[in-house]
Amino acid sequence: MRIKSRHIVRKDYAKKLLNDLKSMFGEGADFFEGKKMEIVETDEIDDLILVDGEPLLLLTENEPFLTIKGALKVKPTKRKVIVDMGAVKYVSSGANVMCPGITYADTDIKEGDFVVIVDELHDKAIAIGKALIQGNEMVADKGKAIKCIHYVGDKIWNF
């Protein structure tokens, strides 16, 4: 992965990002307040936002969202999906999340929202995905619920 450009985020844009994150995750987004933010454009993945040098945010479809490292710092309660331990091996390797593996999903999740996927035992983020169905439909017996876009060990994690 090559870096095409890297620049510091303007204060007005940083304030907009912070407001977007607060509306998504509530008080946990206060972690980002007053931190140095840089946008990194790469040739392979969506743009990353480095917060004090760490890749904690991902710009997806012009919307900021947490990377796994960002989710580990913020510990969000909104847009969160919990998977059982049987699914962890597959999801943390980049597999899409199937409904039978989900034990809890935030009911406010809408189709197309980006979500944080955590394991049920340690409550640690293992992947970031895009919801294919609404949150209240995710705890079911069959079907695909989330398309995985970022997982432990991928290029973003190793950045």
- The DSSP bridge partners found for residue 30 are none
Q: pLDDT category, 42, cuts 50, 70, 90?
A: confident
**What is the reported pLDDT for 126?**
96
Q: Return the closest-CA partner of residue 22 out of 64, 73, 81.
A: 64
- In this model, does residue 139 exceed pLDDT 80? yes
CATH number for 3-73 (one of 3.30.70.260, 3.10.450.120, 2.30.300.10, 3.40.640.10): it is 3.10.450.120
Which long-range contacts link 43-48 to residues 24+ away (Cβ below 8 Å)? 43/1, 43/2, 43/4, 44/1, 44/2, 44/155, 45/1, 45/155, 45/156, 48/156, 48/159
CATH topology of domain 76-151: 2.30.130
- The most distant pair of C-alpha atoms in the chain lies apart, rounded to whole Å, by 46
Query: Which pair of tokens denotes residue 8?
Result: 């510091």
- Domain spans of the chain, in order of start: 3-73, 76-151
* Digit-coded pLDDT (tens) for 95-125: 999 999 999 999 999 999 999 999 999 999 9
Q: Are strands 114-119 and 102-105 parallel, antiparallel or unpaired?
A: unpaired
What confidence score (pLDDT) does residue 60 get? Answer: 78
Q: Enter the tokens of residue 77.
A: 């309660």
